[in-house]
Copies of this chain bind each other. A is one copy, B any other.
């Protein structure tokens, strides 16, 4: 049996490192986003790649989300197992998808004729129906077709394919969602989304309706998410937050933090914790210690964090004491943990399995 603390445990009774979810902040984020979309022409289909946690997905749907976005088929399988329906896989996949389409309402992105043919064949064999979005590269330079004409041809191929239903378009402005300046971000997002608009218009000219147009992230939900042609927003990080998004999205609160323990204080200015790269990621910068204040991360090795106390005499920390820090990237940090320790007012209230963690296939 893995380690299991009891509800009611205070922070200093929880073994570390432990990923904490502050329920008040979580519920604030849930409400804030739901309220925003309540009177908009677009809807929220939150991205589960951020949290990989069926309990969070259920609460997002309860709060008004129209479904869930997944990055991987394995994530979608876990969500379907947990009773979460209406799933978009915002990626190009083939295998095992037909089986999942038998038991959940599935939608998937395509950007290639061979992919469409394979999907159609697999779904026919299973007598399953699959909804399809054509992905357009809106400047991120990753997946997606490059031209409206290609989108039209793919849409026509999907319409002609047995077992597939054409639903619309997808374009993710991932290269813009973290631009620090809100004005620049907004204007560049409007520019970037023009290919989606043009493709929708071209489809319309050929009598094909793009009923769904999906995109958007936490950095752009109130830009991408308020005007045509968008109908769905895939924001993920808003529900947990991290230091990177907190800088540009102060309307959401930090719900996620990592509880760590001091394992060594070999000299007054150096605090060593039990939290290294295997429990918190650093590709967006060092995590930020928030409790106590006055510490900065100097480095992460595999299993240790090296922290600097800038005014050592003001930092009353001994071995066994706790240090709490906010990750710089919530999505990849969640991906390192199997369980989320849910807290309210500094006490453990629940443990939620991050059931889709590791489901990268």
Give the interface of A toward B (CB within 8 A): 2-3, 15-18, 49, 71-72, 74, 77, 91-96, 111-112, 114-115, 118, 137, 141-146, 174, 263-264, 266-267, 270, 272, 274-275, 277-279, 281-283, 301-304, 306, 318-320, 331-332, 335-338, 357-361
Contacts and interface: CB of A to CB of B under 8 A. Distances in A.
A71 B266 contact: no
Give me the 10 closest cross-chain CB pairs, A-B, nearest first.
Answer: A143-B264, A338-B358, A15-B361, A71-B303, A92-B263, A278-B335, A279-B360, A3-B361, A112-B319, A17-B360
A171 to B, nearest CB: 13
Contacts of A263: 91-93, 143
26 contacts: A3-B361, A17-B360, A91-B263, A91-B303, A92-B263, A92-B264, A94-B320, A111-B264, A111-B266, A114-B318, A114-B319, A114-B320, A115-B319, A141-B266, A141-B270, A142-B266, A142-B304, A142-B306, A143-B266, A143-B272, A144-B264, A278-B332, A278-B360, A282-B283, A336-B360, A337-B358
Contacts of A306: 141-142
Contact of A96 (B3, B95, B96, B359): B3
Given A143-B272, A302-B332, A359 B91 contact: no
A230 B130 CA distance: 63
A283 B221 CA distance: 31
A302 B361 contact: no
A99 to B, nearest CB: 10
A54 to B, nearest CB: 15
B336 A358 contact: yes
